[in-house]
Amino acid sequence: MNLKLSFHPEFCQDILCHSDTARRCGLDNRCPPELLGNLSRLSALLGEIQQSLNIRSGALKINSGFRAEALNAQVGGVPNSQHCWGLAADVVCPEFGPPCDLAMAIAQLPCEFDQLILEFGKWVHVSIAPLDQTPRRECLSIFSKNEGYLEGIVKR
Ligand SMILES: [Zn+2]
């Protein structure tokens, strides 16, 4: 099967798989072919968010996209994280505003995200649902592991 997957030019495979930590630790963080379909849909969602919020080209930064298991363990990600399935990206956009404002703005968009999580006030985790599941549009915040997840995007 020769399936041609499309990627938003700014959220291409290289950008979504790039990791300074993986590079530093010599970890292979290429996305396996069977997960590229997810990564392509994630790319489209990020493009939609950028366009809908009128974010300038190049201003929406991906802190972490796809994570192979080894990288996920290295960065202390939750086991079986959506990042490991090519379904999630952690983003920031200093030009737009602090992560809390970015998360609140994304929450208002009609786009089909699965989870939107304001994490430690520092970045926004946005994910898509697996193909066979309905996007939940779930909004959560977490400030500390002790306190755990809170309902909604919480400003602190
Ligand atoms: Zn994340």
Q: Give the ranges where 18-129 is alpha helix by DSSP (H).
A: 20-25, 36-52, 69-74, 99-108
Q: How far is the CA of 19 from the centre of ligand 1 (A)?
A: 13
Per residue of the chain (156 residues), what is the pLDDT tens digit?
456 789 999 999 999 999 999 999 999 999 999 999 999 999 999 999 999 999 999 999 999 999 999 999 999 998 999 999 999 999 999 999 999 999 999 999 999 999 999 999 999 999 999 999 999 999 999 999 999 999 999 999
Q: How far is the CA of 82 from the centre of ligand 1 (A)?
A: 7
What is the model's pLDDT at position 3?
63
Q: How far is the CA of 126 from the centre of ligand 1 (A)?
A: 7
C-alpha 44: how far from chain center: 12
The phi, psi pair for 76, rounded to 5°, reads: 75, 30
What is the model's pLDDT at position 4?
75
Asked if CATH classification 3.30.1380.10 holds for the domain at 9-151, the reply, yes or no, is yes
User: CA distances (Å), 92 to each of 7, 25, 57, 101, 146, in order?
Assistant: 20, 24, 13, 10, 24
Q: How far is the CA of 85 from the centre of ligand 1 (A)?
A: 12
Residue 139: strand pairing partners: 116
The sign of the dihedral angle between the CA atoms of 89, 116, 100, 58 is positive
Q: How far is the CA of 88 from the centre of ligand 1 (A)?
A: 6
Q: How far is the CA of 3 from the centre of ligand 1 (A)?
A: 28
Q: CB burial class (10 A; 0-12, 13-18, 19+) of residue 141?
A: buried
| Helix, strand and coil in the chain, % to nearest 5 | 35, 15, 50
Q: What angle do CA 130, 133, 134 make, to 5 degrees?
A: 115
Give residue 54's identity as a one-letter amino acid code: N
User: CA distances (Å), 90 to each of 1, 4, 116, 123, 124, in order?
Assistant: 31, 26, 10, 6, 5
